[in-house]
């Protein structure tokens, strides 16, 4: 038997439809009597949470913003202190979850997260924050949410374009977990299950966005993939997306969507068995090509140029993403990474430049 080390983070997960009805009971379970309800300016599902919290709602802050700016956290902290808050409830995507984590790490308050995207941040003890244009990441047990309340109903109205990019963000957690050096069979099983669910449910959601069964599968996959992100270190794909988001202001989930098939193609020569397992659960012959086709079929973005990246920034991005060593199946050398970014910029087939075939010269 292969030895392994597995840590299970102590997050209570409540999953289903209509679980918002349990938010008050879950807050009471954490001993919270005066909660701060967090959301973003464009959040649509705050009403049901507000209503269910009832007398446990002490204050609201609807200013969550992408990349967790420290000045937003400081404004929310003032509201928290003025209202004598003893618990946090956050409804929204990864940005709102980030604000809740930033407040929890500063105050030690318990958190309930109600995710409305597939970002997976709700089950990790990692927080990325921005200050003076720089994004830094830290990990702390206080960052880890206490309770995650997944209510499929809140995802039924997630626009298809965001559903696609957010689901590929989850797919990326599962793919990179499979070739992490420390992965164990618990995370492997979860990652493969997440990939199978996403490959099956994403086309169904693109065709019928409020299909409850397909939405349930995607949210379930997001949780499974999030636990993989929490359990093992990520590789080149996450390093590149972090660089593109942090240093070139590229949108988080859409960037993941464009880059993933290209990183898979880059890593494939050194991770053959992982790619075969991914292809098998996706029901395709080739994992990078299968990921690319899935994204194209559901109308997801396939080119960094279309996302607004300047071609002249590609070399710098490759340099930044390869400046320090980190675990990845194939060593991330600057030329190879720049070549994959060029493929991603033009929206070519994954691996086009390394093959030097058609499409590599446009």
- The contact set with ligand NAD (CB under 6 A) reads 40, 42-44, 66-67, 92-96, 98, 116-117, 119-121, 124, 126-128, 154-155, 157-158, 162, 166, 229, 252-253
Cβ-based nearer residue to ligand NAD, 85 or 250: 250
Q: With respect to ligand NAD, which residue has the nearer C-beta, 29 or 67?
A: 67
CB of 116 to ligand NAD, least distance (A): 3
DSSP one-letter string for 307-326 = TT--GGGHHHHHHHHTSS--
Task: Yes or no: say if 347 and 360 are a contact pair by the CB < 8 Å rule.
Answer: no
Q: Which is nearer to ligand NAD, 57 or 72 (CB)?
A: 72
Alpha helices for the chain (secondary structure H) = 23-29, 46-53, 70-82, 94-107, 160-178, 185-207, 212-231, 236-248, 252-267, 272-282, 287-297, 314-321, 334-346, 352-355
Name, in order, each residue with C-beta under 8 angstroms of 151's C-beta and a sequence gap of 6 or more: 16, 17, 18, 19, 20, 114
Instruction: Judge whether 20 and 49 are in contact, CB under 8 Å.
Output: yes
The three-point CA angle 96-345-171 to 5° equals 45
CB of 34 to ligand NAD, least distance (A): 25
Closest residue by beta carbon to ligand NAD: 94
Q: Cα–chain-centroid distance for residue 87?
A: 24
Give the 3-state secondary structure of residue 92: strand
Of the two residues 114 and 341, which places its CB atom closer to ligand NAD in the complex? 114
Closer to ligand NAD by Cβ: residue 127 or 281: 127
- Rounded least distance, CB 132 to ligand NAD, Å: 17
CB of 171 to ligand NAD, least distance (A): 12
C-alpha dist (Å) from residue 161 to 201, 217, 233: 14, 17, 28
* Residue 311: CA count within 13 A, CB half-sphere: 7
> Smaller CB distance to ligand NAD: residue 12 or 33?
12
| Smallest separation (angstroms) from ligand NAD to the CB of 117 | 3
Asked whether 47 and 73 are in contact (CB, 8 A), the reply is no
Shortest distance in whole angstroms from residue 154 CB to ligand NAD: 6
Q: For ligand NAD, which is the closer residue by CB, 252 or 292?
A: 252
Other C-beta atoms closer than 10 Å to the C-beta of 74 total 11
Q: How far is the CB of 95 from ligand NAD (least distance, A)?
A: 3
CB of 169 to ligand NAD, least distance (A): 6
- Residue 21 vs 42, nearer CB to ligand NAD: 42
């Amino acid at each position: 038997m292969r030895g392994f080390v597995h840590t299970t983070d102590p997050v209570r997960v409540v999953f289903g439809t209509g679980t918002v009805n349990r938010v008050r009971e879950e807050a009471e379970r954490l001993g919270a009597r005066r909660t701060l309800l967090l959301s973003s300016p464009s959040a649509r599902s705050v009403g049901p949470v507000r209503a269910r919290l009832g007398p446990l709602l002490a204050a609201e802050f609807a200013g969550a913003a992408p990349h967790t700016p420290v000045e937003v956290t400081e404004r929310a902290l003032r509201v928290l202190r003025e209202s004598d808050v003893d618990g946090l409830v956050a409804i929204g995507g990864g940005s709102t979850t980030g604000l809740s984590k930033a407040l929890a790490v500063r105050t030690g308050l318990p958190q309930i997260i109600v995710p409305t995207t597939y970002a997976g941040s709700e089950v990790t003890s990692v927080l990325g924050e921005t200050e003076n244009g720089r994004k830094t990441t830290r990990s702390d047990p206080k960052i880890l949410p206490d309770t995650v309340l997944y209510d499929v109903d809140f995802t039924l109205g997630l626009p298809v374009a965001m559903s696609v990019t957010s689901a590929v963000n989850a797919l990326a957690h599962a793919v990179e977990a499979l070739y992490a050096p420390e992965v164990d069979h618990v995370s492997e099983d979860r990652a493969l299950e997440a990939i199978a669910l996403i490959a099956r449910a994403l086309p169904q959601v693109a065709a019928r966005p409020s299909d409850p069964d397909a939405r349930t599968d995607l949210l379930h996959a997001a949780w499974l993939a999030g636990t993989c992100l929490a359990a093992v270190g990520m590789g080149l794909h996450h390093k590149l997306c972090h660089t593109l988001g942090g240093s070139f202001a590229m949108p988080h989930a859409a960037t993941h969507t464009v880059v993933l098939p290209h990183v898979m193609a880059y890593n494939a020569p050194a991770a053959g068995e992982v790619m075969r397992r991914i292809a098998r659960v996706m029901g395709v012959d080739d994992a990078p090509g299968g990921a690319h086709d899935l994204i194209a079929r559901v109308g997801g973005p396939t080119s960094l140029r279309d996302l607004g990246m300047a071609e002249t920034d590609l070399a710098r991005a490759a340099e930044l993403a390869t400046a320090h060593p980190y675990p990845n199946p194939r060593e991330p050398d600057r030329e190879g990474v720049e070549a994959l970014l060029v493929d991603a910029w033009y929206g070519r087939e994954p691996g086009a430049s390394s093959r030097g075939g058609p499409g590599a010269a446009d």
